[in-house]
Amino acid sequence: MATTENLSLRERATKPRPAFRLVPLLEPRQKVGETRRIAVYAASLGLAALLSVLLLAVSGVPPSDLGTEIAATAFSSPRALGSVLAQMAPLVVAGLATAIAFRANFWNIGLEGQMILGAICATAIAIFDIGPEALRLPLMMLAACAGGMGWIAGPAYLRQKLGVSEVITTLLLNYVAFNLLLHLLYGGWKDPVSSFPHSEQYEAVERLPQLGWQTLTWALPFAGILAAALWWILSASRLGYLLDLLSANRDMARAVGVPVAGLSLAAILASGAVAGLTGFVISAGIEGRMTQDFHVGYLFNGVLIAFLGRNHPLGVVIAAFFMAVLVQVGQSLQVFFGTPFSLVRLTQAIFIICVAGSEFFLTYRMNFRSAS
Amino acid sequence: MTTGLALRSVTKRFGGFAALEEVDFVAHGGEVHALLGENGAGKSTLMNVACGIYAPDEGRVEIDGKAVSIAGARDAAARGIGMVHQHFKLVPAFSVLDNILLFNPGRPAAEVGAEAQRLAARIGFDLPLEARAGTLPVAEQQRLEILKVLIGGARIVILDEPTAVLSPEEGTALMGLIRGLADEGAAVILVTHKLHEALHHSDRITVLRQGRTIAETTPEGMNPAELTTLIVGEQIVEEPELSSHVGERVIWLNGVELAGDAGRRGLTGLDFQVRAGEIYGVAGVAGNGQSELAEVLMGLARPTGGTVWMDGENITEAGPAGRRRAGLACIPVDRYRHGLAGRLSVADNYAVNGVLAGRYGGWMWLNRAKARARAREAVEEFDVQGVRGMGQRAALLSGGNAQKLVIAREFEGETRVVLAHSPSRGLDVRAGAAVHARLRAARDAGAAVILISDDLDEILLLSDRIGVLSDGRMAAEFTAPADRAEIGRAMVSHGDD
Ligand SMILES: Nc1ncnc2c1ncn2[C@@H]1O[C@H](COP(=O)(O)OP(=O)(O)OP(=O)(O)O)[C@@H](O)[C@H]1O
Ligand SMILES: [Mg+2]
């Protein structure tokens, strides 16, 4: 039996060989240069754009119209651009919240719940007029942080002490938060003026001021400052370095004396706090009150943006801008071409898959050469 | 004798760096062929070319005299080439059988299971097919790796430093096993740093140096000194050298207990002390509590009883950070688990102690340029080879050079206590001697050095005092120069004398 097996192996061993291989060998790269990184991302985005255009063309949006549509809805007028930028602000904050948690290997799927708690706490400060007017906004901000942190503290504790998967706990707490929100908005916090299920309108001192250009408020600079601060912390500070070490090899980090439990807890709480701020930015910066559906879609978008931005604050800003354009264009496609919303989501998915796939070309070198 | 595997003037470059240059290597069926060379000489790379993981830039691979082009590991397996890698490639959460099936896809589980059992019995070991791979001891994981490639029908079997993680007894058993394979007609290639394995268990020897073949010879008439000269280009003689000045007690374990659980031996009433200026060797058969002792010393495991004292302070409750601040340096046994973060750069891996000690700035600012410069100096000083940039990922260093990087980092500051757990594992003779010199230098500078090793030669060479760990406690203590046979007896006495 052994001999026949060997014989067949021998036959296979000597089958003719082609001059080059169709299936390349993959060899790990030792390091990736910046130019290559940028080129690979650009190529993957180009591919995604191409596929999306094809997909839309098949479903009845002519590519030429698509071009003008994008230009018109996103870039043609200051008004269009202003509305893209306004959409972008909360997306940046949501992306940052998710990215921080992901950097600490904590799969925070509870962004919406934390946003809701952040907004509820901020709104409490607003409707009960807590604190002097000059400090009202900062107080609301702090309250939003506290709310988000509080909502993530439970899952953090369960994960660290009992090893309960945070994917389940953070996800389920979203529903708890949503029902709490409904309870408040249909109950005691209903708008006394209109009796609609949203909170009363914030007073002027409780809203982020207008920038004086289009409809933009301070929400956008706020998101920018937050991104810059996190960029600093994650790439230039000791905290960021230790966080990288922790996510690369937790056992090693512990053995060399990195306070792993404290550090991951800090990162998780920070993620919750920033998630809470997302609720604050939407309520105080855009809506001017707490509505019942302000959070819808942010969980998904937050994960997407963090992912596309590779958990890097600057990447998050770029990805959020991108997403805002997609959302805006998607809305107008729905209106003018009757494109279904699912198709818009599908194009977003194409972008993610392409960027995700590009990672592969950064990690490996492909060798098509056959031995000479 | 048939030609099994031949590599003809193989060149392999990574970026601009030539890891292999026109290397020739031939292994015949029926022989055990030892492949030797310094750390970073290119042994693993050459074998990766042979088993289709890398494509050669130039040159060719021949099987039974026919040039072949191997399209990846799967194809190599189909052509009868199987490799057991330096770092095992098992899925820890999978059962033994599933791991075998993963490597031999498309065959019915029952058939593979039966064959595994048959084959294992034939080569003289048994494996629990249902056990999870991750829970097996290292030696059994390695047997699983071997079984995996044999069931695939391998007749060219490559073992990359297989005995590095084994105890001497397990190593000897493995040598018997591979001889059996060769007798059945397989070409066995044994990559190793242990000279006696090449001299006593191989039929032919190929030596690589800096990516070139520099010798092909037979072990007959060779002695270790000649072989060393071939490998590193110089004679390396290590002589025992006892401490000249032993000072006060630095570290003291008093009745330390550690509860054992499934797969872990406990420690029971462990007592010993190490003084400044001495090397205390912990000898013992592997699995008698060495890893547990190391974890207790590193501060990774809290003892369930007893106390640990360092410089007169009770550090039983202190974690790794506190102990390091007090001057503890550790060379862990598993460098990819407790020593390095493979995904991060050489500079980042080196910097961690300095960062924690605040040498590169406070909490909000990290002076990366300074950290990088410091890492560059250390890489030079400790002769870590294959580093072509500080931004290079640590995972791609050769095994031995990764170890040197850990050592460079741990010896950076002032040390009071050095814990070295099998520190020369995977190192070539010269690098091993360099590590030994570092340990002696630390001792002579007044540190208390604890050397845990399965290798009795290493213990005898370095230690001023020797404790024998058996069944989780110190069964006996000896003062150097000690009698080898007596230590050997204490090692197997199970502490009941
Ligand atoms: N994928 C890679 N990219 C870049 N360089 C690499 C890669 N793989 C290996 N090298 C480099 O090639 C050289 C040879 O490495 P190799 O792993 O073959 O050494 P080795 O002889 O097996 O050493 P050791 O005994 O330490 O395991 C080293 O300098 C290593 O850093
Ligand atoms: Mg190697």
What residues does each domain of chain A span? 84-336
Q: What is the mean pLDDT of chain A?
A: 87
Q: Residue B494: what pLDDT?
A: 61
Q: Residue B408: what pLDDT?
A: 92
CA distances from B92 to A213, B89, B265, B295 (A): 58, 9, 21, 22
pLDDT at A41 over 90: no
CA distance A306 to chain B (A): 20
CA distances from A197 to A185, A194, A200, A207 (A): 5, 9, 9, 20
Q: Are strands B473-479 and B465-470 parallel, antiparallel or unpaired?
A: antiparallel
CA distance B429 to B197: 14
Q: Residue A88: what pLDDT?
A: 95
What's the CA-to-centroid distance between B399 and ligand 1, angstroms? 8
Q: Are strands B448-452 and B278-283 parallel, antiparallel or unpaired?
A: parallel
Q: Phi and psi dihedrals of A351, rounded to 5?
A: -60, -45
Q: Contact B170/B285 with Cβ under 8 angstroms?
A: no
Q: What's the 3-state SS for B81-99? A: EEEECCCCCCCCCCEHHHH
CA distance B468 to B454: 11
CB within 8 Å of B406: residues ≥ 6 apart: B331, B332, B335, B339, B340
CA distance B365 to chain A (A): 4
Helices A298-308 & A260-282 angle (0-180, nearest 10): 120
CA distance A188 to A144: 20
Element containing residue B473 per DSSP (H, E): strand B473-479
Interface test with B, best of A1, A5, A8, A9 (most B CBs within 10 A): A9
Q: Phi and psi dihedrals of A317, rounded to 5?
A: -60, -45
CATH number of B3-232: 3.40.50.300
CA distance A259 to A254: 7
Most confident of A65-79, A218-232, B393-407: A218-232
Q: Where in chain B is the domain with CATH 3.40.50.300?
A: 3-232, 249-492
* Tokens of residue A50, six digits: 């191409």
Cross-chain residue pair B348–A369, CB shorter than 8 Å: no
Residues within a 6 A CB radius of ligand 1: A 27-28, 30; B 14, 19, 37, 39-45, 86, 385-386, 396-401
pLDDT at A322 over 90: no
pLDDT at A18 over 70: no
* Tokens of residue B109, six digits: 């589980």
Helices A260-282 & A133-157 angle (0-180, nearest 10): 130
Mean pLDDT of A98-104: 96
Domain B249-492 in CATH 3.40.50.300? yes
Strand partners, B251: B274, B310
In 3D, which of A66, A70, A71 has the Cα closest to residue A53? A66
Per-residue pLDDT tens for A251-264?
A: 999 999 999 999 99
Top mutation candidate among B44, B159, B405 for ligand 1, by most atoms within 8 Å of CB: B44
The total number of residues written for chain B in this structure = 497
Amino acid at B24: D
Give the predicted TM-score (pTM) of the model.
0.84
Q: Residue A8: what pLDDT?
A: 40
Q: What's the 3-state SS for A276-343? A: HHHHHHHHHHHHCCCCCCCCCCHHHHHHHHHHHCCCCHHHHHHHHHHHHHHHHHHHHHHHHHCCCHHH
Contact list, B389 vs chain A (CB under 8 Å): 31
Q: Residue A9: what pLDDT?
A: 41
Amino acid at B165: V
The total number of residues written for chain A in this structure = 372
CA distance A372 to A356: 34
CA distance B213 to chain A (A): 19
Q: Residue B449: what pLDDT?
A: 96
* Tokens of residue A128, six digits: 């009960």
Task: Please name the member of B66, B69, B344 whose beta carbon is closest to the beta carbon of A370.
Answer: B69
Interface test with B, best of A30, A37, A243, A364 (most B CBs within 10 A): A30
Q: How many CB atoms lie within 10 A of CB B209?
A: 17
Q: Contact B475/B443 with Cβ under 8 angstroms?
A: no
Extended strands (E) in B29-182: 32-37, 58-63, 66-68, 81-84, 156-160
Q: In what order do the strands lie in the sheet with B32-37?
A: B81-84, B156-160, B187-191, B32-37, B204-209, B212-217
Contact list, B352 vs chain A (CB under 8 Å): 245, 256, 258
CA distance A289 to A274: 19
Element containing residue B469 per DSSP (H, E): strand B465-470
Cross-chain residue pair A237–B356, CB shorter than 8 Å: no
CA distance B468 to B494: 10
Q: Residue A14: what pLDDT?
A: 45
* pLDDT tens-place values along chain B, 497 residues long: 466 899 999 999 887 788 999 999 999 999 999 999 998 899 999 999 998 888 888 898 999 888 888 877 778 888 889 898 887 888 888 988 998 888 887 888 888 888 888 888 877 777 788 888 888 877 788 888 888 888 878 889 999 988 887 778 788 888 988 898 899 889 999 999 999 999 999 999 999 999 999 999 999 888 888 999 999 888 888 888 888 888 899 999 999 999 877 666 789 889 999 999 999 999 988 778 888 999 999 999 999 999 999 998 999 999 999 999 899 999 998 888 899 999 999 999 999 999 998 899 888 899 999 999 999 999 999 889 888 889 888 988 887 889 889 999 998 888 899 999 999 888 888 889 988 998 999 999 999 999 999 888 899 999 999 999 988 889 889 997 888 888 888 888 764 44
Q: Contact B416/B326 with Cβ under 8 angstroms?
A: yes
CATH number of A84-336: 1.10.3470.10
What's the CA-to-centroid distance between B46 and ligand 1, angstroms? 9
DSSP letter string, A159-223: IIII---HHHHHHHHHHHHHHHHHHHHHTTTS-TTT--SSPPPPPGGGSPPB-SSTT-BTHHHHH
Q: How many CB atoms lie within 10 A of CB A62?
A: 13
Q: Residue A21: what pLDDT?
A: 61
Mean pLDDT of A93-118: 96
Whose Cα sits closest to atom 29 in ligand 1? Answer: B386
Helices B429-444 & B224-232 angle (0-180, nearest 10): 90
pLDDT at A296 over 80: yes
Q: Contact A95/A303 with Cβ under 8 angstroms?
A: no
CB within 8 Å of B147: residues ≥ 6 apart: B100, B116, B119, B120, B127
pLDDT category of residue A367 using cuts at 50, 70 and 90: confident
Q: How many CB atoms lie within 10 A of CB A196?
A: 12
Task: Using a pLDDT cut of 70, give the percent of chain A over it.
Answer: 92
Amino acid at A282: I
Mean pLDDT of A47-54: 91
Task: Please name the member of A30, A252, A371 whose beta carbon is closest to the beta carbon of B392.
Answer: A30
